[in-house]
Amino acid sequence: MQSDNIRNKKQGFLFHLIGHIAPFFILGVVYFIWLKITEIYVPCLFRQITGYKCPGCGITSMCVNTGAFNFFDAFCANPFIFITLPLIIFEVVYCEFLNFKKRKMPTWNNLLLIFYCIGLIVFGIIRNIIAI
């Protein structure tokens, strides 16, 4: 009886996670198909205005290359996001878990996200200095 209760809680979280992530996944698949058919990419406004790459420049190319299992080109498109993708996935799942359990974000996780944002900004500066 107790194992059924645990299984129901796990299934409840799984449905919660899928329900919150599925719309973004579906939009990503639709955008991926759009790119493959039209080859029209959404341009980076920051880069168009300033001429510099923002920390997120190359994410679309990274995702397209990852979808085609071309990991080297995916890495070259945006090395920081490519390397930290497991952390991003962990954070999404962990935040949804906390949301499901109605718990607050722990301090250590807030600090981790602050350091991640600092790293992302530093990457954005460095990639324009040494032309990554």
pLDDT tens digit string along 71-103?
Answer: 999 999 999 999 999 999 999 999 999 999 999
Q: Domain range spanning residue 39?
A: 2-129
Distance, in Å, from the CA atom of 13 to the CA atom of 38, rounded to the nearest integer, reads 37
Three-state DSSP class for residue 61: helix
Provide the pLDDT confidence category of residue 9 given band limits of 50, 70 and 90: low
Tokens of 120: 């992302």
Other CB atoms within 10 A of residue 119 CB:
13
Residues 98-125 pLDDT 10s: 999 999 999 999 999 999 999 999 999 9
Inter-residue contact 60 to 68 (CB < 8 Å): no
Summary mean pLDDT of the chain:
88
Nearest to 81 by CA among 131, 46, 129, 132: 132
Structural domain count of the chain: 1
The pLDDT score that the predictor gives to residue 57 is 92
